[in-house]
Amino acid sequence: MTEEHFLFEFSRTADMAKVENALLMAVVAAEGIHGRSRVSLEAEFNTNQAVRTCLVNAGNQVGTDIAKVFTEFLNLEVGEDAYKVTRRGNRGGLAAEDNGGRNAS
């Protein structure tokens, strides 16, 4: 099965602490919409500070909503010019080189 995901890539000027905070706030917002249990079961996301990326699985409504809210928070926190986002397919879910797992690190 092919999994869809959003890949966010950040410029050198983007504050990665603000990026991670924006992602966690987007997850909290998704919990408000879908409930904590559903987000815990269905959400997949992570950040990789070494390559300045964030990956959000968009294979379900929870992930798509996290990506939408995250994008809005990024616009407020780091600005539209500090990142680019692309939607991609990936066999098997989140890429191993991006540390896998649900939680931002």
State the CATH number of the domain containing residue 84. Answer: 3.30.70.3400
| The predicted structure's pLDDT at residue 2 | 54
Tell me, yes or no, whether 101 lies in a domain.
no
CB contact at 8 A, 20 and 71: no
Number of domains in the chain: 1
Tell me, yes or no, whether 99 lies in a domain.
no
For the stretch 7-22, pLDDT in tens is 999 999 999 999 999 9
The neighbour count for residue 46, using CB atoms within 10 Å, is 21
Reported residue count of the chain is: 105
| The predicted structure's pLDDT at residue 90 | 57
Domain that holds residue 82: 2-93
Helices (H) and strands (E) in the chain, counts: 3, 4
For the stretch 56-101, pLDDT in tens is 999 999 999 999 999 999 999 999 999 999 999 854 444 434 433 4
pLDDT above 90 for 52 = yes
pTM: 0.82
The arithmetic mean of pLDDT across residues 27-32, rounded, is: 98
